Amino acid sequence: MVRDLECKLERGVMKMAKLRKMLTHPRKGESGQGALAIVVILLMLGAIILTPLLVFMSTGLKAGGVYESKVQEFYAADAGVEDGLWQIKNDKLSTLFYSYPYDPYNYTANYSYSVAPNASGHEINAKNVTVNIANVWIPSNIPTPNPAVARSIIENGTLIVTGSVINFTGGRWGCQIKISYSWRGDDPNGTNLKIATIGAWISGGCNYTSGSGNLSSYTPTCVPYCGGQAITWNLNSQTFKLSGQTSYPLVRTFNFNFTGPESPNPQALSWITTTDVPAIPYSWDADSKPYRIGSTAGSTTTEAYTIKNEMRKLGSTISGDYVAIGNTLMMPDPNNNPSDPNQDYRSRLLKESSATIQSSSPSGSGYIPPGATIEAAYLYWSGWIDHYYWKATTRYGHTTWSWSADPTDWGVPQDNWTGLVYDASNLQQMVEGWADGSGKGAKVNTVNFNGIDITTHDWQVWPKTNDAPACWYYTCFYDATSIVKPLIESDVSTFTLGHASNGTTSVINQLRPGDSSASHTYSFTLCDSNGNPTSSYTGYPLGTSAHKLPSGGSYDGRYHASYAGWSLVIIYSSPDTQGHQLYLYDIKSPGFTFQESFPGGASQSDPDFDGDGNPGGKISGFLVPQQVGSETNAAKITCFVGEGDEGKTGDSFKVTGPSGSWANLPDGTGAALNDVWNSESVGLAVPGVDIDTFYVTWSSNIVRAGDTWAQVDLPTTGDGFTLSYIILSFRSSVTTGGAISYLIR
């Protein structure tokens, strides 16, 4: 066969040589006619070949266009996936799907949006890209719950399940499932709850190692599921509380091994089903949130799955971190030496005071990272008020004020003076002022905040009971989010609070028309930040001075109880900030009572700020994460406290963890650990109130990774104080995993 091919090739070459000779050396007498015939033949042959050749070229060009279009669709759809990942990572789903609205516990809904054109108005590769995002329900043996049921189980925080992937060794990974049970009234002593099944899902490319871990005595069921593998163990309704367990909450830990690649780290989610406590039939690892992202451009759809690890939304938690700023509105006489005992007596009422948010030093107080989103801003102000009338006087070379012992203009009979502070209707008049506009009542419910008069959204009053029943403390709350958010986002960083503007000029004429008697002057001279009197007055003071004319007496008394101040708590989120879990207790929280904490009564010597009937507060339902890098602090706690006195010792701040470790924490001012409520705070130039932040360090071992509760106490044995709020923040990492699977349709 080879030889035949060689012969044919030789004959073809000879014919081509003969044809070339004919074309280049015509015979005699042909006069080019033979060449012309050959040319005509070639033209006819070219015509026959050219038409299909052009058609082929056209088809090729079209195919190239189709190929290019598909590539453009692919990249446009891919860009849609990236946009969806960005929306999830930066917590934008609630904003993105505001009108729908987005519900993190709705596992049957699909949320769609169109990727907006760029700044030039052009779409991605001239394609309209539609992105679909859906929450994915993972527990394989539990029917998909409706949003209300899912939310109630997780936000209740009674049964918390977490799963973590650990220890890659010899081609195997470990998975630890930790279950924390804070039993409630429907399960006395935690003895009713039983474990029916335990489940876990591991991501694609991983396989369960049979007979591994402390679940080896139970026969597992393994099935392919959601691109990975689901494993369930039947525990046959095993009692959750084991013999000898006494801790609260109850904690059980299970583990198993599985094979998988060393990189990237595999994902795992866990869940549990229960019996005998109907309120919690199951729970799952709500800290790991899986999403499906679908992106369509033209006829091309790209689909990806991602898991975001974040803190769960418990009933008392707020995602993000916080800063707390504020200042005093009352200060001691600046002429007194700081070591003078009179520094304890706050006798100058300031016209206003300011505090500043800063964004240049992450280690400083009041720091909010640039570009952060303001989630909430809560304003508090608090003070001590005496119900007697005030009149102007001069003391120590400065115009100040004292009290008239004749409160007849209050419209309260003399024999009811003491009962005045206990009567709810009169307390309301004290806080909000008389409705007839006569100027009676303190009207502490209205302040001027950054030039705007605002009125409190809620308030509480506590009568001073230990030594002066005819006076009272108050605290007010205002949700200032709508004011603060646009200011910070437009680079305003300083906030100022003062007295209501309608009481700052001509108060005698405004509040008591036709009556300018000095004995009935219901006004205060306001001082500047240095304590010097100004030309401004107020008929609605937010606090009263340390000088008082005792009932029936003629001498000047001084009161440690006097104070006035304010604080602004700002809660923010930022993709550049590592995550935290926040717990806020104030007068808007169920069970929180604003009161005077004083060593005269056992129930008040350690304020019951969580309202459970026990001193202090047991904060539970959170989950302490692993230490992140070389971080120093595992938690921080800030309190806004009034009426604390320097030198009156016995007041401390104590945190105890489940391990039994505890410590009295410092307030950062250098004060003794038994004098934290000393009216001095980091960042405040002059004494007046406490806005103190305490740090729980990882090295102290007070709380450790995996802890779900901590006890916080504010005991006092020698000083009185009032607590307006306490806010606590635990570290928790917030990360977004890569795509688990990536498919092109």
- Residue-wise pLDDT tens digits, 570-584: 988 765 666 676 778
**For residue 722, pLDDT beyond 90:** yes
Which tokens sit at 647? Answer: 């030198």
Please give the pLDDT value at position 413: 35
Q: Lowest-confidence range among 506-510, 595-599, 607-611, 690-694?
A: 506-510
Please give the pLDDT value at position 489: 79
**For residue 298, pLDDT beyond 90:** no
Confidence of residue 8 (pLDDT cuts 50, 70, 90): very low
What single letter denotes the amino acid at residue 266? P
Q: Which residue has the higher pLDDT, 482 or 411?
A: 482
Most confident of 14-18, 155-159, 380-384, 591-595: 380-384
Interval 399-416: pLDDT, tens: 443 444 443 333 333 333
Q: Which residue has the higher pLDDT, 679 or 309?
A: 679
Please give the pLDDT value at position 239: 92
What's the Cα-to-Cα distance from 368 to each of 20, 493, 569, rounded to whole Å? Answer: 88, 10, 12
| Positive or negative torsion for Cα 368, 98, 455, 597 | negative
Range 365-384 average pLDDT: 85
Range 86-96 average pLDDT: 84
Please give the pLDDT value at position 88: 87
Range 206-225 average pLDDT: 91
**For residue 109, pLDDT beyond 80:** yes
Range 717-733 average pLDDT: 83
Quick count: other Cβ atoms within 10 Å of Cβ 642?
A: 32
Query: Which residues, in sequence order, are CB contacts of 352 under 8 Å at separation 6+?
Result: 329, 448, 496, 497, 498, 499
The CA distance from 728 to 691, in Å, is 13
Please give the pLDDT value at position 184: 75
Please give the pLDDT value at position 123: 59
**Which residue, 627, 621, 642, 626, is CA-closest to 690?**
642
Confidence of residue 424 (pLDDT cuts 50, 70, 90): very low
Please give the pLDDT value at position 187: 86
Concatenated DSSP letters for 556-619?
A: PEE-TT--EEEEEEEEEE-TTS--EEEEEESTTSTT----EE-TTSGGGSS--TT-SSSSSEEE
**For residue 509, pLDDT beyond 70:** no
Q: How does strand 220-225 pair with strand 288-297?
A: unpaired
Interval 556-572: pLDDT, tens: 556 778 899 999 999 88
Q: Judge whether 703 and 696 are in contact, CB under 8 Å.
A: yes
Please give the pLDDT value at position 740: 45
Residues of the chain with pLDDT > 90, as a percent, come to 25
Range 416-431 average pLDDT: 48
Please give the pLDDT value at position 310: 61
Range 477-492 average pLDDT: 89
**For residue 223, pLDDT beyond 80:** yes
Please give the pLDDT value at position 507: 35
Please give the pLDDT value at position 198: 96
The CA distance from 161 to 623, in Å, is 10
> What DSSP designation does 408 have?
G
Quick count: other Cβ atoms within 10 Å of Cβ 394?
A: 11
> What DSSP designation does 681 have?
-
The CA distance from 419 to 343, in Å, is 32
Please give the pLDDT value at position 735: 42
Confidence of residue 501 (pLDDT cuts 50, 70, 90): low
Q: Which residue has the higher pLDDT, 456 or 11?
A: 456
Q: Judge whether 373 and 364 are in contact, CB under 8 Å.
A: no
Please give the pLDDT value at position 416: 33
**For residue 19, pLDDT beyond 80:** no
Please give the pLDDT value at position 693: 94
Please give the pLDDT value at position 484: 93
Which tokens sit at 264? Answer: 């990237």
Confidence of residue 347 (pLDDT cuts 50, 70, 90): confident
Most confident of 18-22, 317-321, 359-363, 596-600: 596-600
Q: Which residue has the higher pLDDT, 283 or 44?
A: 283
Confidence of residue 639 (pLDDT cuts 50, 70, 90): very high
Range 99-122 average pLDDT: 78
| Strand ranges for 421-563 from DSSP E | 446-449, 452-455, 458-463, 471-479, 494-499, 524-527, 533-538, 547-548, 557-558
Q: Judge whether 603 and 616 are in contact, CB under 8 Å.
A: no
Confidence of residue 434 (pLDDT cuts 50, 70, 90): low
Residues of the chain with pLDDT > 70, as a percent, come to 68
Confidence of residue 235 (pLDDT cuts 50, 70, 90): very high
| Positive or negative torsion for Cα 19, 23, 25, 27 | positive
Confidence of residue 133 (pLDDT cuts 50, 70, 90): very high
**Which residue, 530, 458, 457, 529, is CA-closest to 498?**
529
Interval 437-461: pLDDT, tens: 555 556 788 899 999 889 898 888 8
**For residue 420, pLDDT beyond 60:** no
Range 664-687 average pLDDT: 90
Q: What is the mean pLDDT of the chain?
A: 76
Q: Judge whether 526 and 350 are in contact, CB under 8 Å.
A: yes
**Which residue, 350, 713, 295, 380, is CA-closest to 562?**
350
Interval 141-163: pLDDT, tens: 999 999 999 888 887 778 888 87
Please give the pLDDT value at position 632: 87
Range 309-330 average pLDDT: 68
512 three-class SS: coil
Cis peptide before 266 (omega within 30 of 0): no
